[in-house]
A and B are shown apart, each in its own frame.
Chain A
Amino acid sequence: MFVMDTHTHTCLSPCADLDMHPAGLVAAAICAGLDAVAVCDHNSAENVAAAQRAGLAAGVAVIPGMEITSEEEVHILALLPDAEAALSLQSRIYRELPGRNDERAFGMQVVANEHAEVLGFNERLLAGATTMTVDGVVAAIHKVDGLAIAAHIDRERFGILGQLGIIPAGLPLDALEVSPRTSLSAARTAFTPRLEYPILCGSDAHEPKDVGRAATFMFLEEPTLSEMRQALKGCAGRVILGGGRPMEDLALHILDIAQNSLEAGATLVEIDLSEDVAADRLVIEVRDNGPGMEPEALARATDPFFTTRITRRVGLGLPFLAQAARAAEGKLEIDSQRGKGTRVRATFRHSHIDRAPVGDIETTLLVLLAGNPEVEIRFRHAVGERAFELDARGIDPGAPDGLSALRQTIRQGEATLSGTVGETKLH
Protein backbone atom coordinates (compact mmCIF):
# COMPACT_ATOMS: atom_id res chain seq x y z
CA MET A 1 0.00 0.00 0.00
CA PHE A 2 1.09 3.53 -0.68
CA VAL A 3 0.07 6.63 1.21
CA MET A 4 0.00 9.60 -1.13
CA ASP A 5 -0.81 13.25 -0.58
CA THR A 6 -2.20 14.11 -4.01
CA HIS A 7 -2.04 17.87 -3.63
CA THR A 8 0.90 19.87 -2.29
CA HIS A 9 2.50 23.18 -3.22
CA THR A 10 6.10 24.37 -3.24
CA CYS A 11 7.50 27.86 -2.73
CA LEU A 12 6.76 28.50 -6.40
CA SER A 13 3.12 29.07 -5.49
CA PRO A 14 2.84 32.70 -4.38
CA CYS A 15 0.72 31.80 -1.35
CA ALA A 16 3.09 29.04 -0.14
CA ASP A 17 5.66 29.20 2.65
CA LEU A 18 9.33 29.64 1.68
CA ASP A 19 10.11 26.51 3.72
CA MET A 20 8.24 24.60 1.06
CA HIS A 21 11.27 24.47 -1.21
CA PRO A 22 11.46 21.10 -3.00
CA ALA A 23 13.62 19.42 -0.33
CA GLY A 24 11.53 20.96 2.46
CA LEU A 25 8.39 19.52 0.97
CA VAL A 26 9.98 16.09 0.73
CA ALA A 27 11.20 16.28 4.34
CA ALA A 28 7.70 17.23 5.49
CA ALA A 29 6.31 14.29 3.50
CA ILE A 30 8.63 11.90 5.33
CA CYS A 31 7.65 13.31 8.70
CA ALA A 32 3.98 12.87 7.83
CA GLY A 33 4.50 9.20 6.99
CA LEU A 34 3.84 9.61 3.27
CA ASP A 35 5.21 7.35 0.57
CA ALA A 36 4.42 9.78 -2.22
CA VAL A 37 3.39 13.37 -2.90
CA ALA A 38 2.06 15.09 -5.98
CA VAL A 39 3.57 18.55 -6.53
CA CYS A 40 0.83 20.83 -7.83
CA ASP A 41 1.86 24.47 -7.97
CA HIS A 42 -0.53 27.03 -9.40
CA ASN A 43 -0.35 27.08 -13.20
CA SER A 44 3.33 26.12 -13.25
CA ALA A 45 5.57 23.08 -12.93
CA GLU A 46 8.93 24.76 -12.60
CA ASN A 47 9.80 23.12 -9.26
CA VAL A 48 8.67 19.64 -10.25
CA ALA A 49 12.02 18.33 -11.48
CA ALA A 50 13.84 19.55 -8.36
CA ALA A 51 11.18 17.97 -6.14
CA GLN A 52 11.60 14.71 -8.02
CA ARG A 53 15.35 14.78 -7.45
CA ALA A 54 14.86 15.58 -3.76
CA GLY A 55 12.34 12.74 -3.54
CA LEU A 56 14.65 10.29 -5.24
CA ALA A 57 17.41 11.05 -2.74
CA ALA A 58 15.06 10.67 0.23
CA GLY A 59 12.99 7.71 -0.91
CA VAL A 60 9.72 9.56 -1.44
CA ALA A 61 7.98 9.25 -4.80
CA VAL A 62 7.16 12.63 -6.33
CA ILE A 63 4.38 12.72 -8.91
CA PRO A 64 4.65 15.71 -11.26
CA GLY A 65 1.57 17.89 -11.29
CA MET A 66 0.01 21.31 -11.58
CA GLU A 67 -3.04 23.05 -10.16
CA ILE A 68 -4.62 24.82 -13.11
CA THR A 69 -7.11 27.67 -12.73
CA SER A 70 -9.75 27.62 -15.44
CA GLU A 71 -11.47 30.63 -16.90
CA GLU A 72 -14.42 29.98 -14.56
CA GLU A 73 -11.95 30.04 -11.62
CA VAL A 74 -12.24 26.32 -11.05
CA HIS A 75 -9.08 24.58 -9.82
CA ILE A 76 -8.24 21.39 -11.68
CA LEU A 77 -5.30 19.23 -10.60
CA ALA A 78 -3.19 17.71 -13.32
CA LEU A 79 -1.25 14.64 -12.22
CA LEU A 80 1.26 13.81 -14.91
CA PRO A 81 3.29 10.82 -16.02
CA ASP A 82 6.68 12.56 -16.04
CA ALA A 83 8.51 15.87 -15.91
CA GLU A 84 8.45 16.11 -19.70
CA ALA A 85 4.66 16.00 -19.77
CA ALA A 86 4.64 18.62 -17.02
CA LEU A 87 6.77 21.00 -19.09
CA SER A 88 4.68 20.39 -22.18
CA LEU A 89 1.48 21.20 -20.29
CA GLN A 90 3.19 24.17 -18.69
CA SER A 91 4.02 25.75 -22.04
CA ARG A 92 0.38 25.35 -23.07
CA ILE A 93 -0.79 26.95 -19.83
CA TYR A 94 1.69 29.83 -20.07
CA ARG A 95 0.25 30.77 -23.47
CA GLU A 96 -3.17 31.16 -21.83
CA LEU A 97 -2.10 32.83 -18.58
CA PRO A 98 -2.22 36.64 -18.72
CA GLY A 99 -0.73 39.08 -16.23
CA ARG A 100 2.42 39.70 -14.17
CA ASN A 101 2.86 38.80 -10.53
CA ASP A 102 2.90 41.51 -7.89
CA GLU A 103 5.00 40.12 -5.06
CA ARG A 104 3.61 42.56 -2.54
CA ALA A 105 0.04 41.52 -3.28
CA PHE A 106 0.39 37.80 -3.86
CA GLY A 107 3.82 36.75 -2.58
CA MET A 108 7.08 35.50 -4.05
CA GLN A 109 7.18 32.78 -6.69
CA VAL A 110 10.49 31.07 -6.01
CA VAL A 111 12.09 28.63 -8.41
CA ALA A 112 14.45 26.52 -6.30
CA ASN A 113 16.67 23.49 -6.70
CA GLU A 114 16.76 20.37 -4.53
CA HIS A 115 19.40 21.93 -2.27
CA ALA A 116 17.12 24.75 -1.12
CA GLU A 117 18.95 27.25 -3.32
CA VAL A 118 17.03 29.97 -5.12
CA LEU A 119 17.41 29.78 -8.88
CA GLY A 120 15.09 32.64 -9.73
CA PHE A 121 11.64 34.08 -9.53
CA ASN A 122 8.70 33.34 -11.78
CA GLU A 123 7.20 36.61 -12.98
CA ARG A 124 3.89 35.35 -14.35
CA LEU A 125 0.62 35.86 -12.51
CA LEU A 126 0.45 32.29 -11.25
CA ALA A 127 -2.36 33.23 -8.86
CA GLY A 128 -4.49 34.29 -11.79
CA ALA A 129 -6.91 32.42 -14.00
CA THR A 130 -6.05 31.03 -17.43
CA THR A 131 -8.23 31.86 -20.41
CA MET A 132 -9.06 28.15 -20.81
CA THR A 133 -12.50 26.80 -20.00
CA VAL A 134 -12.75 23.93 -17.56
CA ASP A 135 -13.41 21.61 -20.51
CA GLY A 136 -10.32 22.97 -22.24
CA VAL A 137 -8.18 22.42 -19.15
CA VAL A 138 -9.29 18.81 -18.82
CA ALA A 139 -8.64 18.22 -22.54
CA ALA A 140 -5.16 19.77 -22.26
CA ILE A 141 -4.33 17.49 -19.32
CA HIS A 142 -5.54 14.41 -21.17
CA LYS A 143 -3.52 15.42 -24.21
CA VAL A 144 -0.32 14.88 -22.23
CA ASP A 145 -1.67 11.63 -20.72
CA GLY A 146 -2.35 13.16 -17.33
CA LEU A 147 -5.13 12.64 -14.83
CA ALA A 148 -7.59 15.53 -14.45
CA ILE A 149 -8.94 15.88 -10.93
CA ALA A 150 -11.36 18.52 -9.65
CA ALA A 151 -9.54 20.01 -6.65
CA HIS A 152 -11.03 20.54 -3.17
CA ILE A 153 -14.64 20.17 -4.27
CA ASP A 154 -15.69 20.70 -0.65
CA ARG A 155 -14.49 24.30 -0.80
CA GLU A 156 -16.71 26.99 -2.23
CA ARG A 157 -13.97 29.18 -3.63
CA PHE A 158 -12.17 27.64 -6.61
CA GLY A 159 -13.94 24.31 -6.12
CA ILE A 160 -15.92 23.10 -9.12
CA LEU A 161 -19.16 22.82 -7.16
CA GLY A 162 -18.79 26.27 -5.65
CA GLN A 163 -17.94 27.94 -8.93
CA LEU A 164 -20.20 25.98 -11.28
CA GLY A 165 -22.91 24.71 -8.96
CA ILE A 166 -22.88 21.21 -10.37
CA ILE A 167 -20.25 19.10 -12.08
CA PRO A 168 -20.84 19.81 -15.79
CA ALA A 169 -22.46 16.86 -17.51
CA GLY A 170 -20.01 14.92 -19.63
CA LEU A 171 -16.87 16.57 -18.22
CA PRO A 172 -14.37 13.68 -18.36
CA LEU A 173 -12.79 14.13 -14.93
CA ASP A 174 -10.73 11.19 -13.68
CA ALA A 175 -11.44 11.87 -10.01
CA LEU A 176 -12.60 14.43 -7.46
CA GLU A 177 -10.50 15.60 -4.53
CA VAL A 178 -11.57 16.65 -1.05
CA SER A 179 -9.60 18.78 1.39
CA PRO A 180 -8.67 17.72 4.95
CA ARG A 181 -11.95 19.15 6.24
CA THR A 182 -13.94 16.29 4.69
CA SER A 183 -13.39 12.60 5.33
CA LEU A 184 -13.43 10.22 2.41
CA SER A 185 -16.52 8.37 3.55
CA ALA A 186 -18.43 11.62 4.14
CA ALA A 187 -17.34 12.81 0.71
CA ARG A 188 -18.53 9.62 -0.96
CA THR A 189 -21.96 10.04 0.60
CA ALA A 190 -22.21 13.75 -0.11
CA PHE A 191 -20.70 14.04 -3.57
CA THR A 192 -20.85 10.70 -5.35
CA PRO A 193 -23.92 8.82 -4.11
CA ARG A 194 -23.91 6.77 -7.28
CA LEU A 195 -20.11 6.41 -7.30
CA GLU A 196 -19.86 8.57 -10.38
CA TYR A 197 -16.24 9.48 -9.70
CA PRO A 198 -13.48 8.12 -7.48
CA ILE A 199 -12.50 10.49 -4.67
CA LEU A 200 -8.99 11.31 -3.50
CA CYS A 201 -7.87 13.07 -0.32
CA GLY A 202 -5.21 15.75 -0.62
CA SER A 203 -3.91 18.32 1.84
CA ASP A 204 -3.47 21.32 -0.48
CA ALA A 205 -0.53 22.06 1.84
CA HIS A 206 1.10 25.45 1.46
CA GLU A 207 3.36 25.01 4.50
CA PRO A 208 5.28 22.04 5.91
CA LYS A 209 2.99 21.39 8.89
CA ASP A 210 0.03 20.77 6.57
CA VAL A 211 1.70 18.19 4.33
CA GLY A 212 -0.12 14.89 4.77
CA ARG A 213 -3.02 16.41 6.73
CA ALA A 214 -5.05 14.39 4.26
CA ALA A 215 -3.81 11.58 2.10
CA THR A 216 -5.07 8.76 -0.09
CA PHE A 217 -4.28 5.12 0.62
CA MET A 218 -3.87 3.12 -2.53
CA PHE A 219 -3.03 -0.41 -3.44
CA LEU A 220 -0.40 -0.10 -6.14
CA GLU A 221 2.61 -2.06 -7.32
CA GLU A 222 4.61 1.15 -7.32
CA PRO A 223 3.70 4.79 -6.83
CA THR A 224 3.45 5.86 -10.46
CA LEU A 225 0.79 7.59 -12.48
CA SER A 226 -0.03 4.55 -14.61
CA GLU A 227 -0.63 2.53 -11.44
CA MET A 228 -2.80 5.34 -10.05
CA ARG A 229 -4.79 5.39 -13.25
CA GLN A 230 -5.58 1.71 -12.76
CA ALA A 231 -6.49 2.28 -9.12
CA LEU A 232 -8.95 5.01 -10.10
CA LYS A 233 -10.64 2.54 -12.41
CA GLY A 234 -10.33 -0.25 -9.84
CA CYS A 235 -8.70 -2.59 -12.33
CA ALA A 236 -5.83 -5.10 -12.19
CA GLY A 237 -6.08 -5.33 -8.40
CA ARG A 238 -5.21 -1.66 -7.92
CA VAL A 239 -7.70 0.18 -5.74
CA ILE A 240 -8.24 3.30 -3.71
CA LEU A 241 -8.55 1.86 -0.22
CA GLY A 242 -9.37 4.93 1.72
CA GLY A 243 -8.23 8.34 2.76
CA GLY A 244 -7.70 10.47 5.78
CA ARG A 245 -4.93 11.75 7.94
CA PRO A 246 -2.01 9.40 8.36
CA MET A 247 -1.07 8.81 12.00
CA GLU A 248 -4.12 10.47 13.42
CA ASP A 249 -6.80 7.81 13.48
CA LEU A 250 -6.20 4.79 15.69
CA ALA A 251 -7.01 2.51 12.76
CA LEU A 252 -3.90 3.79 11.02
CA HIS A 253 -1.77 3.22 14.11
CA ILE A 254 -3.02 -0.36 14.11
CA LEU A 255 -2.08 -0.68 10.47
CA ASP A 256 1.38 0.66 11.17
CA ILE A 257 2.07 -1.68 14.09
CA ALA A 258 0.77 -4.68 12.17
CA GLN A 259 2.96 -3.78 9.23
CA ASN A 260 5.98 -3.71 11.55
CA SER A 261 5.06 -7.25 12.57
CA LEU A 262 4.71 -8.37 8.97
CA GLU A 263 7.97 -6.79 7.93
CA ALA A 264 9.68 -8.57 10.80
CA GLY A 265 8.45 -11.86 9.34
CA ALA A 266 5.47 -12.77 11.53
CA THR A 267 3.10 -15.41 10.15
CA LEU A 268 0.36 -14.70 12.68
CA VAL A 269 -0.87 -11.25 13.69
CA GLU A 270 -3.68 -10.84 16.21
CA ILE A 271 -5.36 -7.48 16.60
CA ASP A 272 -7.66 -6.70 19.50
CA LEU A 273 -9.57 -3.46 19.73
CA SER A 274 -11.60 -3.21 22.87
CA GLU A 275 -13.88 -0.36 23.90
CA ASP A 276 -15.23 -0.45 27.41
CA VAL A 277 -17.32 2.64 27.96
CA ALA A 278 -18.37 1.63 31.49
CA ALA A 279 -14.72 1.49 32.56
CA ASP A 280 -13.94 4.45 30.26
CA ARG A 281 -11.17 2.56 28.55
CA LEU A 282 -10.07 1.81 25.02
CA VAL A 283 -7.35 -0.76 24.46
CA ILE A 284 -5.49 -1.68 21.32
CA GLU A 285 -3.42 -4.82 21.39
CA VAL A 286 -1.40 -6.25 18.52
CA ARG A 287 0.36 -9.59 19.03
CA ASP A 288 2.61 -11.40 16.60
CA ASN A 289 4.73 -14.54 16.43
CA GLY A 290 7.62 -12.73 14.77
CA PRO A 291 11.27 -12.88 15.77
CA GLY A 292 10.87 -10.40 18.63
CA MET A 293 13.15 -7.51 19.42
CA GLU A 294 16.56 -7.39 21.05
CA PRO A 295 16.51 -5.59 24.41
CA GLU A 296 18.40 -2.68 22.91
CA ALA A 297 15.92 -2.31 20.07
CA LEU A 298 13.04 -2.59 22.52
CA ALA A 299 14.46 0.20 24.65
CA ARG A 300 14.65 2.45 21.63
CA ALA A 301 11.34 1.44 20.09
CA THR A 302 9.63 4.68 21.02
CA ASP A 303 12.48 6.89 19.85
CA PRO A 304 11.15 8.68 16.76
CA PHE A 305 14.47 8.44 14.95
CA PHE A 306 14.89 4.73 15.39
CA THR A 307 13.56 2.18 12.93
CA THR A 308 14.48 -1.19 11.49
CA ARG A 309 12.65 -0.31 8.35
CA ILE A 310 14.46 0.45 5.19
CA THR A 311 11.53 1.97 3.33
CA ARG A 312 11.21 5.01 5.55
CA ARG A 313 13.84 7.03 7.31
CA VAL A 314 11.86 7.61 10.46
CA GLY A 315 10.14 5.02 12.59
CA LEU A 316 6.73 6.56 12.91
CA GLY A 317 4.40 4.09 14.43
CA LEU A 318 5.35 3.47 18.03
CA PRO A 319 6.54 6.94 19.10
CA PHE A 320 3.42 8.49 17.63
CA LEU A 321 1.19 5.88 19.22
CA ALA A 322 2.88 6.42 22.58
CA GLN A 323 2.23 10.13 22.23
CA ALA A 324 -1.42 9.53 21.23
CA ALA A 325 -1.93 7.26 24.26
CA ARG A 326 -0.33 9.71 26.68
CA ALA A 327 -2.50 12.50 25.31
CA ALA A 328 -5.56 10.51 26.37
CA GLU A 329 -4.24 9.59 29.83
CA GLY A 330 -3.13 6.19 28.65
CA LYS A 331 0.16 4.47 27.97
CA LEU A 332 2.00 2.23 25.58
CA GLU A 333 3.52 -1.09 26.65
CA ILE A 334 5.68 -3.33 24.54
CA ASP A 335 6.66 -6.89 25.49
CA SER A 336 8.99 -8.64 23.17
CA GLN A 337 10.97 -11.82 23.50
CA ARG A 338 13.60 -12.92 21.06
CA GLY A 339 12.24 -15.89 19.13
CA LYS A 340 8.75 -15.70 20.59
CA GLY A 341 7.08 -12.58 19.33
CA THR A 342 5.99 -9.09 20.24
CA ARG A 343 2.96 -7.67 21.98
CA VAL A 344 2.12 -3.97 21.67
CA ARG A 345 -0.60 -2.66 23.94
CA ALA A 346 -1.89 0.90 23.99
CA THR A 347 -4.50 2.14 26.43
CA PHE A 348 -6.57 5.30 26.25
CA ARG A 349 -9.23 6.96 28.35
CA HIS A 350 -12.23 6.39 26.11
CA SER A 351 -13.99 9.67 26.83
CA HIS A 352 -10.86 11.83 26.79
CA ILE A 353 -11.25 14.82 24.53
CA ASP A 354 -7.80 14.21 23.02
CA ARG A 355 -8.40 10.53 22.38
CA ALA A 356 -7.96 10.01 18.64
CA PRO A 357 -10.96 8.60 16.76
CA VAL A 358 -10.92 4.91 15.88
CA GLY A 359 -11.22 5.81 12.21
CA ASP A 360 -11.37 3.60 9.20
CA ILE A 361 -10.94 0.04 10.46
CA GLU A 362 -12.23 -1.27 7.17
CA THR A 363 -9.32 0.18 5.23
CA THR A 364 -6.78 -1.03 7.75
CA LEU A 365 -8.03 -4.59 7.56
CA LEU A 366 -8.35 -4.56 3.78
CA VAL A 367 -4.77 -3.40 3.43
CA LEU A 368 -3.47 -6.06 5.82
CA LEU A 369 -5.53 -8.93 4.44
CA ALA A 370 -5.18 -8.15 0.78
CA GLY A 371 -1.50 -7.35 1.00
CA ASN A 372 -0.53 -10.44 3.01
CA PRO A 373 -2.58 -13.43 1.88
CA GLU A 374 0.03 -15.85 3.25
CA VAL A 375 -0.19 -14.46 6.80
CA GLU A 376 -2.90 -15.31 9.29
CA ILE A 377 -4.48 -12.09 10.49
CA ARG A 378 -7.06 -12.17 13.27
CA PHE A 379 -9.14 -9.20 14.26
CA ARG A 380 -11.48 -8.76 17.19
CA HIS A 381 -13.37 -5.56 17.99
CA ALA A 382 -15.33 -5.50 21.23
CA VAL A 383 -17.65 -2.70 22.26
CA GLY A 384 -19.05 -3.35 25.72
CA GLU A 385 -20.80 -6.70 25.62
CA ARG A 386 -20.80 -7.02 21.87
CA ALA A 387 -17.92 -8.18 19.76
CA PHE A 388 -17.08 -8.69 16.12
CA GLU A 389 -14.54 -11.35 15.24
CA LEU A 390 -13.42 -11.25 11.67
CA ASP A 391 -13.44 -14.60 9.94
CA ALA A 392 -11.85 -14.02 6.59
CA ARG A 393 -11.16 -17.67 5.86
CA GLY A 394 -12.60 -18.73 2.57
CA ILE A 395 -12.32 -15.25 1.06
CA ASP A 396 -9.45 -14.87 -1.36
CA PRO A 397 -8.63 -11.16 -1.57
CA GLY A 398 -6.87 -11.80 -4.87
CA ALA A 399 -10.03 -13.19 -6.49
CA PRO A 400 -12.01 -10.87 -8.80
CA ASP A 401 -14.63 -9.96 -6.18
CA GLY A 402 -12.48 -10.90 -3.20
CA LEU A 403 -11.79 -7.37 -2.07
CA SER A 404 -15.42 -6.28 -2.17
CA ALA A 405 -16.48 -9.51 -0.40
CA LEU A 406 -13.96 -8.75 2.33
CA ARG A 407 -15.14 -5.16 2.53
CA GLN A 408 -18.70 -6.37 2.88
CA THR A 409 -17.81 -8.84 5.64
CA ILE A 410 -15.94 -6.20 7.62
CA ARG A 411 -18.63 -3.59 7.12
CA GLN A 412 -21.38 -5.93 8.29
CA GLY A 413 -19.35 -7.02 11.29
CA GLU A 414 -18.56 -3.48 12.33
CA ALA A 415 -22.19 -2.50 11.80
CA THR A 416 -23.27 -4.98 14.49
CA LEU A 417 -21.29 -2.83 16.94
CA SER A 418 -22.67 0.50 15.86
CA GLY A 419 -25.10 2.24 18.14
CA THR A 420 -23.25 0.90 21.13
CA VAL A 421 -20.75 3.72 21.11
CA GLY A 422 -21.47 6.84 19.14
CA GLU A 423 -18.18 7.25 17.45
CA THR A 424 -16.88 3.79 16.67
CA LYS A 425 -18.56 3.74 13.30
CA LEU A 426 -16.50 4.36 10.21
CA HIS A 427 -16.09 8.08 9.97
Chain B
Amino acid sequence: MKVTQAAESIGGTIVVAAAEAASREVLGGYASDLLSDVMANSREGDLWVTMQKHVNIVAVAELNGIAGIVMVNGRKPEEAAVAQAEENRIPIICTDLQAFDVAGILYGMGIRGRRPV
Protein backbone atom coordinates (compact mmCIF):
# COMPACT_ATOMS: atom_id res chain seq x y z
CA MET B 1 0.00 0.00 0.00
CA LYS B 2 1.23 3.50 -0.81
CA VAL B 3 1.31 6.29 1.81
CA THR B 4 -1.33 8.16 -0.22
CA GLN B 5 -3.81 5.28 0.09
CA ALA B 6 -3.18 5.01 3.83
CA ALA B 7 -3.80 8.76 4.16
CA GLU B 8 -7.12 8.48 2.31
CA SER B 9 -8.28 5.60 4.50
CA ILE B 10 -7.95 7.68 7.68
CA GLY B 11 -9.36 10.83 6.11
CA GLY B 12 -6.01 12.55 6.47
CA THR B 13 -4.54 15.53 4.66
CA ILE B 14 -1.05 15.23 3.26
CA VAL B 15 0.52 18.53 4.34
CA VAL B 16 4.08 17.84 3.23
CA ALA B 17 5.66 15.89 0.36
CA ALA B 18 2.59 14.64 -1.52
CA ALA B 19 4.71 13.39 -4.42
CA GLU B 20 6.82 11.27 -2.08
CA ALA B 21 3.68 9.94 -0.40
CA ALA B 22 2.36 8.69 -3.73
CA SER B 23 5.48 6.70 -4.45
CA ARG B 24 6.34 5.30 -1.02
CA GLU B 25 5.31 1.83 0.01
CA VAL B 26 4.07 1.31 3.59
CA LEU B 27 5.69 -1.85 4.96
CA GLY B 28 4.45 -1.67 8.54
CA GLY B 29 3.24 0.63 11.29
CA TYR B 30 4.51 2.08 14.57
CA ALA B 31 2.73 4.24 17.17
CA SER B 32 4.61 6.14 19.89
CA ASP B 33 5.18 9.65 21.21
CA LEU B 34 8.54 8.95 22.79
CA LEU B 35 10.99 9.78 20.04
CA SER B 36 13.78 7.82 21.70
CA ASP B 37 11.51 4.78 21.55
CA VAL B 38 10.74 5.38 17.88
CA MET B 39 14.44 5.63 17.14
CA ALA B 40 15.03 2.34 18.90
CA ASN B 41 12.06 0.30 17.70
CA SER B 42 10.54 1.53 14.46
CA ARG B 43 11.58 0.02 11.15
CA GLU B 44 12.28 1.19 7.66
CA GLY B 45 9.07 1.67 5.69
CA ASP B 46 6.88 2.11 8.81
CA LEU B 47 4.03 4.56 8.87
CA TRP B 48 4.53 6.33 12.21
CA VAL B 49 1.49 7.49 14.21
CA THR B 50 2.21 10.21 16.78
CA MET B 51 1.05 13.29 18.68
CA GLN B 52 4.47 14.91 18.58
CA LYS B 53 4.83 17.85 16.22
CA HIS B 54 8.31 19.04 17.14
CA VAL B 55 10.87 19.38 14.36
CA ASN B 56 12.79 16.40 15.76
CA ILE B 57 10.15 14.05 14.32
CA VAL B 58 11.67 14.65 10.89
CA ALA B 59 15.16 13.81 12.09
CA VAL B 60 13.90 10.57 13.65
CA ALA B 61 11.90 9.68 10.52
CA GLU B 62 14.93 10.32 8.33
CA LEU B 63 17.15 8.28 10.62
CA ASN B 64 14.94 5.19 10.52
CA GLY B 65 13.68 5.48 6.95
CA ILE B 66 10.06 6.08 8.03
CA ALA B 67 7.62 6.02 5.08
CA GLY B 68 5.47 8.80 6.51
CA ILE B 69 4.36 10.52 9.73
CA VAL B 70 0.69 10.55 10.76
CA MET B 71 -0.09 13.40 13.14
CA VAL B 72 -3.25 12.64 15.09
CA ASN B 73 -5.85 14.53 17.15
CA GLY B 74 -6.02 17.46 14.75
CA ARG B 75 -2.53 18.60 15.59
CA LYS B 76 -0.43 20.53 13.11
CA PRO B 77 3.34 20.28 12.68
CA GLU B 78 5.46 23.19 13.86
CA GLU B 79 6.68 25.49 11.10
CA ALA B 80 10.23 24.26 11.52
CA ALA B 81 9.01 20.67 11.17
CA VAL B 82 7.21 21.50 7.91
CA ALA B 83 10.31 23.18 6.51
CA GLN B 84 12.55 20.30 7.53
CA ALA B 85 10.14 17.69 6.16
CA GLU B 86 9.99 19.56 2.84
CA GLU B 87 13.74 19.49 2.68
CA ASN B 88 14.03 15.80 3.57
CA ARG B 89 10.96 14.79 1.51
CA ILE B 90 9.22 13.10 4.47
CA PRO B 91 5.43 12.94 4.04
CA ILE B 92 3.37 14.31 6.95
CA ILE B 93 -0.32 13.46 7.15
CA CYS B 94 -2.63 15.31 9.52
CA THR B 95 -5.87 13.76 10.75
CA ASP B 96 -8.54 14.66 13.31
CA LEU B 97 -8.77 11.02 14.36
CA GLN B 98 -7.15 9.74 17.53
CA ALA B 99 -4.14 7.43 17.50
CA PHE B 100 -6.26 4.45 18.57
CA ASP B 101 -8.66 4.83 15.67
CA VAL B 102 -5.90 5.49 13.16
CA ALA B 103 -4.06 2.35 14.19
CA GLY B 104 -7.30 0.36 14.09
CA ILE B 105 -8.19 1.47 10.56
CA LEU B 106 -4.68 0.85 9.23
CA TYR B 107 -4.60 -2.56 10.93
CA GLY B 108 -7.89 -3.40 9.25
CA MET B 109 -6.26 -2.62 5.94
CA GLY B 110 -3.51 -5.12 6.56
CA ILE B 111 -0.75 -2.90 7.98
CA ARG B 112 1.00 -4.57 10.94
CA GLY B 113 3.44 -3.64 13.64
CA ARG B 114 6.71 -5.45 13.21
CA ARG B 115 9.32 -6.56 15.73
CA PRO B 116 12.37 -4.30 15.77
CA VAL B 117 15.30 -5.72 13.81
Contact = CB atoms under 8 A, between A and B. Distances in A.
Interface stretch (B9-17, B23-31, B48-56): B48-56
Nearest to B34: A162
16 contacts: A72-B52, A156-B34, A156-B36, A162-B34, A162-B35, A162-B36, A163-B34, A163-B36, A163-B52, A164-B54, A165-B38, A165-B39, A165-B60, A166-B56, A168-B54, A168-B56
- A-B complex: 10 closest residue pairs judged by Cβ atoms: A165-B35, A164-B56, A162-B36, A165-B60, A165-B39, A164-B35, A165-B36, A72-B54, A168-B56, A165-B56
Q: For B36, B59, B78, which residue has the most chain A Cβ atoms within 10 angstroms?
A: B36
A101 interface: no
A133 interface: yes
A168 B33 CA distance: 16
A370 interface: no
Contacts of A73: 33
Contacts of B56: 164-166, 168
B101 to A, nearest CB: 22
B36 A133 contact: no
Nearest to A162: B36
Interface of B: 33-39, 52, 54-56, 59-60, 78
B54 A133 contact: yes
A163 B34 CA distance: 5
A161 interface: yes
A278 to B, nearest CB: 45
A166 B38 CA distance: 11
A163 B35 contact: yes
Interface in A152-210: 156-157, 161-166, 168
Chain A binding surface, main DSSP class: loop
A134 interface: yes
Given A72-B52, A165-B35, 15 more contacts: A133-B54, A156-B37, A157-B34, A163-B33, A163-B34, A163-B35, A164-B36, A164-B54, A164-B56, A165-B38, A165-B39, A165-B60, A166-B59, A166-B60, A168-B55
Interface in A114-164: 133-134, 156-157, 161-164
Contacts of B59: 165-166
A41 B33 CA distance: 25
A163 B36 CA distance: 6
A73 B36 CA distance: 13
A134 B56 CA distance: 11
Contacts of A163: 33-36, 52
A365 B79 CA distance: 50
A162 B35 CA distance: 6
Contacts of B39: 165
A168 B53 CA distance: 13
Q: For B35, B55, B56, which residue has the most chain A Cβ atoms within 10 angstroms?
A: B56
Interface string A335-360: 00000000000000000000000000
A166 B60 CA distance: 8
Contacts of B34: 156-157, 162-163
A166 B61 CA distance: 12
Nearest to B75: A71
Contacts of B60: 165-166
Nearest to B40: A165
A75 to B, nearest CB: 14
B38 A133 contact: no
A162 B38 CA distance: 10
A156 B32 CA distance: 13
A163 B55 CA distance: 12
A357 B36 CA distance: 32
B52 A161 contact: no
B54 A134 contact: yes
Q: For A73, A157, A163, which residue has the most chain B Cβ atoms within 10 angstroms?
A: A163
Contacts of A166: 35, 56, 59-60
Given A72-B52, A72-B54, A133 B35 contact: no
Contacts of B54: 72, 133-134, 164, 168
Q: For A72, A165, A166, which residue has the most chain B Cβ atoms within 10 angstroms?
A: A165
Contacts of B37: 156, 162
Contacts of B33: 73, 163
